[in-house]
A and B are shown apart, each in its own frame.
Chain A
Amino acid sequence: MLGIVAAIIDGVLIGSVYGLAAMGLTLIWGVMNVVNLTHGAAIVAGMFALYLLTAAIGLPPYATLPVILVGGFLVGVALYWIAVHRMVDRAHLMSLLSTFAVNLVVIGLGTAVLGTGLFNVPVTLPSVTWQRYTFSGTHILAAALTALIAGLLYLFLYRTRPGKAVRAVANNREAAELCGIPTTRVLSFAFGLGVALAGAAGMLIATMFPFTVLSGDAYQLKSFVVTALGGLGNPAGALLGGVALGLIEGFAAQVMPVSWTLVIEFVLFVAVLLLFPRGVFALRRA
């Protein structure tokens, strides 16, 4: 019983980081109706940014977070103008193919330069022990930083003029345009924000687990499941969806063979798509 409680706590801690990763994906979808398949590459870029900034410049691991957020934002804005801008109003398949191509280029370059070996960033933090179970300090801090970033994102979207502009464009781009909002700039801003969030999630994941250039695919898949749970275009729902996924992963592994966890995840994915196409948490909100 204690094991189940410990697994649920751990699942929630890690699930919140899944939620942060999915917030980037869902924000981009919500604002511009683009399924961003560079998402996995952005997560991996965050992982390697942590590795390079700590190994090359000697920055403390968590001091890289603001650097990665700013860098991720700038790269995201550039990516928008290079690969997404002309695809926004076209068929979904076009933006899908365009971002998929960028993903292949980024992962291909990463493979050529860094190889596909395992990288590890050793992060030492005090941990919390309860009974026989230990909750790693990196997991706790990752969840805390996720909550902080999510809070800041909420304040930005609901309390600032640029944030309100992002929401206005997400609601009705033509109406926003008529109100004088520079929608193209808002779109590039939102894309940059989405990539920055994915990079930050990658950085936090890399403080917890070793990683490779190819690690992004697994987290991209999880982001899709989380996005389906939380509702497309709903950042708050994504965070809840991430926590729910982590909780399910933690709980399921305690009551059945671990190898079934993936099956459970994707059965859930299909079930949510069929029963709650707008997302479980989006439905509640409505």
Chain B
Amino acid sequence: MRKLCLLAAIAAFFAGPAAAAGDQTLTIGMTLSQTGSLNIDSLAQVRGSELWRDQVNDAGGIKVGDQRYKIRFVTYDDQSQGGRVQQLYTRLIVQDKAQFLFGPYSSGLSATAAVITEQYGRPMLIAGGAEPKTYTLGNKYLVQVITSADHYLTGAIDALASKNAHAKVALVYSDDPFSKAVAIAAREHAKKSGLSIVLDESYAPATTDFSPIINKIISSSAEALLGGGHYTDGATLARQVHDQKADLKFVSLLVAPDSPEFASLGPAAFGVTVPSQWEIQATYKPQFGPTGAEFVKAFQDKFKVPPDYHSASGYQAGIILQHAIEQAQSIDADKVVAALNAMDVTTFFGRFKIAADAAHHGLQIAHEMVLAQWQKKNGQLEREVVWPTSAQTAGLLYPLH
């Protein structure tokens, strides 16, 4: 019996270090909205990250010195609720030992998660939160992958002003942090561009009946509608604008029209524009990672649906983190954040550079957006890039009526 115990102890002694040496896994934690109102956009974002993970693991992992780190994801359903996020990010860090984190989908949930990740000093890359305020709170470990909300409707306003320099605009947006941040910037930019805002209203994110708002839009004699929020409310608003025949010449809604599912609205989707972080037709020349065409093909092969910008931003978060780790040649949080601070690169998703000063740390300052519009091509609804003119794949349809 004693000999057996001795053998077991010797085996454990040798097995221990061997297991540690073979432990080359990098754990990345995140929550996703498997249920709730953010489900569609969140799922698309996570699919992009999953594609990156699988490609990295198939290639043998991320190379750091002599070691290769394979990627392991730990995910939980946040039910699209901020209340769940803090609890789950604490669990990801404390219990699941996540070394890096990807943000949940939406500005509200990302800001909530950031409170926890900053407390524990864990880097978090945010691919689905555009609201800029979070980056002015002195956070040190947050990194924004996408263009911030300040610039979301800039392209739509410029495109509209190019067609009608004095257009009357209804600004109707969801009462959530992201949409409100977009509206604040859009209000200023519209005024500077010479447009007049004839209606400025927010609505509850859970709104199901937009008839009273649409009657207000009609009463205001607005020619253009700018606003929306996320998928559920945006798609509902678009359908009711069509059903109630609001005589609008231009409609630009946030987020919802970027999803392939938006086409299920049929004629209600036609002509609607969406500020987009990325479109399939984008032809950026990447310094590393896949080209746009390679990304689209890999995504379609894996998920059998075309990627939208949420999927592309989820993938972008992955390759940016990978590049930072390779540059830092370390998985130490501070060294990786230092590499992210110094990074100024172009990938299939466009340019990436964040503010490194303490007052705005992590805010995306280089990535640019495009404006896409649902148009008919061979009888099918498809999104075309209509602004800026340098990236156009089709002319802007204006006026719609």
Contact surface of A with B, Cβ cutoff 8 Å: 2-3, 6-7, 10-11, 14, 111, 115-118, 120, 122, 127, 129, 132-136, 138-139, 208-212, 214-215, 218-219, 249-250, 252-254, 257-259, 261-262
Contact = CB atoms under 8 A, between A and B. Distances in A.
B44 to A, nearest CB: 11
Contacts of A208: 209, 243
Given A118-B261, A253-B216, A259-B201, A134 B40 contact: no
Interface of B: 35-37, 39-40, 80, 175, 201-204, 206-209, 211-213, 215-216, 218-219, 231-232, 235-236, 239-240, 243-247, 261, 264-266
A249 B212 contact: yes
A116 B243 contact: no
Contacts of A138: 243
Nearest to B207: A258
A15 B247 CA distance: 25
Given A116-B36, A117-B40, A118-B261, A10 B236 contact: no
A39 to B, nearest CB: 16
A135 B211 CA distance: 9
Contact of A120 (B35, B80, B219, B264): B264
Contacts of A257: 201-202
Most-contacted residue by chain A among B39, B40, B215 (CB, 10 A) = B215
A117 B39 contact: yes
B212 A261 contact: yes
A237 B211 CA distance: 24
Given A3-B216, A135-B244, 16 more contacts: A10-B212, A10-B215, A11-B211, A117-B261, A120-B235, A127-B245, A132-B218, A134-B246, A210-B239, A215-B208, A250-B212, A252-B212, A258-B202, A258-B203, A258-B216, A262-B204
Contacts of B235: 118, 120, 210
A120 B265 contact: yes
Contacts of A134: 243-246
Nearest to B247: A132
A116 B36 CA distance: 6
A122 B240 CA distance: 11
Contacts of A127: 243-245
Contacts of A139: 211
12 contacts: A10-B211, A10-B215, A14-B211, A208-B209, A212-B232, A215-B208, A253-B215, A253-B216, A254-B219, A257-B202, A259-B204, A261-B204
A216 to B, nearest CB: 11
A14 B218 contact: no
Nearest to B238: A210
A117 to B, nearest CB: 5
Contact of B35 (A111, A122, A135, A254): A111
A38 B206 CA distance: 20
A7 B247 contact: no
B201 A258 contact: yes
B35 A259 contact: no
B265 A116 contact: no
Contacts of B246: 134
Nearest to A17: B209
A66 B333 CA distance: 62
A116 B35 contact: yes
B40 A118 contact: yes
Nearest to A262: B204
Contacts of B219: 2-3, 254
A3 B213 contact: no
A115 B204 contact: no
Most-contacted residue by chain A among B80, B202, B207, B211 (CB, 10 A) = B211
Contacts of B207: 258
B215 A120 contact: no
A253 to B, nearest CB: 3
Contacts of B39: 115-117
Contacts of B201: 257-259
B175 A259 contact: yes
Nearest to B218: A132
A259 B212 contact: no
A262 B265 CA distance: 27
Contacts of A6: 215, 218
